[in-house]
């Protein structure tokens, strides 16, 4: 090959390289941008799906509370009648004692002609007194029941207003997200494909992801309740070197404990970090990621409880909205109360660091 042809070939290669390399980079960047946009649309579709469920739940709750209010109002009318009737009877009884009418009947004992008559008269007087007490108790009970119904009505009306506010808030959020999604799909060349993928993701979450997440949380709830027994079963977890007993639990030991509790939990692993905890579970093609942290709370029994509070939940790398987390939080209790197992120890603080959770205790006699 002569020098002219060689030069021409080299120039062609250089020119081709200059033309194709930037184009290839732009194509890769464009592909990544399209993938990111598609994932964003899928994420928005899943969020809409879950918030729509919450709106439906709030609407149903609104109807139930409305029916409860109607029933309470009817019960109050009926109970008010009972209170009026028992009040009149109780008033007669109190008036009789106040005016001395009841004192006079006791004088009948002295008018008896025999001991047998005295006993018979005494039994009769006891019946009168018992009936008087019963009348007063009926009035008291009726009034208490009326007060209870009125309190329940006030609570129901407050709950109804809270539910309506939440409903309007979530519906507004839903409408806004749906409008955003519709606009984005309207200008996307792959709108039909993405819409199909959104439906597929929502169906997969509903049919497979949601049951798996519930199973994980149900198993975790049981494991958390039994965690104190595990901790006191081995002296390596509790340090008594100071006046303050301290529990040090590594994420490796915690995972070993979880794996011993159920087959499903063998597929879940926690990682402790500074101020947070991340749990990742994988079953087949399904992956659940839970992020949160241990916090110290006072429960309904006024006992200090260590609770795992979830602040982020993902399914196959897609985030679930706060409404989903809130529903799970109401259903599953992820915590434990050390004092229920060791009555003389109470919790004063809890924190997570890299690889370890530290719980400080105090003697509580």
Q: For 5-34, what is each residue's pLDDT tens digit?
A: 433 433 343 333 344 445 455 545 555 677
Other beta carbons within 10 Å of 264? 17
Contacts of 225 (CB under 8 A, 6+ apart): 333, 336
pTM for the model stands at: 0.73
Q: Cβ(277)–Cβ(354) under 8 Å? A: no
Of 91-105, 165-179, 236-250, 343-357, least confident by mean pLDDT is 91-105
Residues in the chain: 365
Average pLDDT over residues 341-346: 78
Distance of CA 170 to the CA centre of its chain: 17
List the structure tokens of 156.
Answer: 């129901």
Q: Cβ(270)–Cβ(224) under 8 Å? A: no
C-alpha span between 340 and 364 (Å, rounded): 12
Q: What is the pLDDT of residues 219-269, one digit of tens each?
A: 999 999 999 889 888 888 888 766 778 889 999 999 999 999 999 999 999
Nearest to 160 by CA among 74, 71, 61: 61
Q: Which residue has the tokens 């806004």?
A: 176
Distance of CA 115 to the CA centre of its chain: 70
Q: How would residue 119 be classed by pLDDT, with cut points 50, 70 and 90? A: low
Q: Which residue has the tokens 């609570």?
A: 155
List the structure tokens of 76.
Answer: 């109050």
C-alpha span between 105 and 109 (Å, rounded): 8
C-alpha span between 67 and 70 (Å, rounded): 5
Nearest to 267 by CA among 249, 240, 285: 285
Burial class for 11, CB neighbours closer than 10 Å (0-12, 13-18, 19+): exposed
C-alpha span between 111 and 29 (Å, rounded): 113
Q: How would residue 1 be classed by pLDDT, with cut points 50, 70 and 90? A: very low
Largest pairwise CA distance in the chain:
156
Q: What is the pLDDT of residues 186-228, one digit of tens each?
A: 998 888 999 999 999 999 999 999 999 999 999 999 999 999 8
Contacts of 291 (CB under 8 A, 6+ apart): 276, 277, 278, 279, 310, 311, 312, 313
C-alpha span between 101 and 295 (Å, rounded): 66
Q: Domain 54-182: give its CATH code.
A: 1.10.287.1490
Q: How would residue 174 be classed by pLDDT, with cut points 50, 70 and 90? A: very high
What pLDDT was estimated at residue 10?
A: 34
The separation between the first and the last C-alpha atoms of the chain, rounded to the nearest angstrom, is 99
* Beta bridge pairs of residue 112: none
| Residue 316 backbone class (left: φ over 0; alpha: ψ -120 to 50; beta: rest) | left
Burial class for 361, CB neighbours closer than 10 Å (0-12, 13-18, 19+): buried
Kindly list the domain boundaries of the chain, sorted by start residue. Answer: 54-182, 202-363
């Amino acid at each position: 090959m002569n020098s002219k042809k060689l030069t021409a070939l080299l120039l062609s290669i250089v020119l081709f390289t200059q033309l194709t390399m930037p184009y290839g980079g732009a194509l890769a960047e464009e592909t990544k941008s399209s993938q990111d946009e598609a994932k964003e649309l899928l994420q928005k579709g899943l969020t809409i799906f879950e918030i729509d469920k919450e709106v439906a739940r709030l609407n149903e709750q609104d109807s139930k509370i409305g029916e409860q209010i109607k029933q309470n109002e009817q019960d109050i009318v009926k109970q008010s009648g009972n209170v009026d009737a028992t009040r009149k009877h109780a008033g007669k009884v109190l008036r009789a004692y106040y005016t001395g009418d009841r004192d006079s009947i006791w004088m009948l004992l002295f008018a008896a002609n025999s001991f047998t008559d005295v006993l018979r008269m005494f039994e009769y007087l006891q019946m009168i007194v018992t009936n008087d007490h019963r009348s007063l108790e009926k009035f008291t009970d009726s009034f208490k029941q009326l007060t209870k119904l009125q309190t329940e009505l006030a609570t129901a009306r407050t709950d109804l207003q809270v539910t309506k506010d939440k409903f309007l808030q979530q519906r507004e959020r839903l409408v806004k997200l749906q409008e955003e999604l519709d606009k984005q799909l309207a200008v996307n060349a792959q709108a039909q494909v993405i819409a199909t993928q959104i439906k597929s993701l929502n169906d997969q979450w509903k049919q497979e992801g949601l049951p798996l997440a519930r199973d994980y949380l149900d198993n975790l709830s049981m494991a958390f309740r039994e965690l104190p027994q595990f901790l006191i079963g081995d002296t390596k977890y509790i340090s008594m070197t100071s006046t303050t007993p301290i529990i040090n639990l590594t994420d490796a030991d915690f995972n070993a404990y979880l794996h011993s509790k159920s087959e499903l939990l063998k597929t879940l692993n926690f990682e402790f970090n500074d101020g947070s905890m991340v749990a990742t579970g994988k079953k087949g093609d399904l992956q659940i990621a839970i992020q949160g942290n241990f916090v110290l709370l006072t429960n309904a029994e006024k006992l200090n409880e260590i609770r795992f509070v979830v602040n982020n939940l993902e399914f196959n790398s897609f985030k679930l909205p706060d409404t989903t987390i809130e529903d799970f939080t109401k259903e599953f209790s992820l915590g434990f109360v050390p004092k229920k197992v060791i009555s003389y120890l109470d919790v004063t603080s809890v924190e997570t660091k890299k690889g370890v959770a530290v719980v400080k205790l105090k003697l509580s006699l």
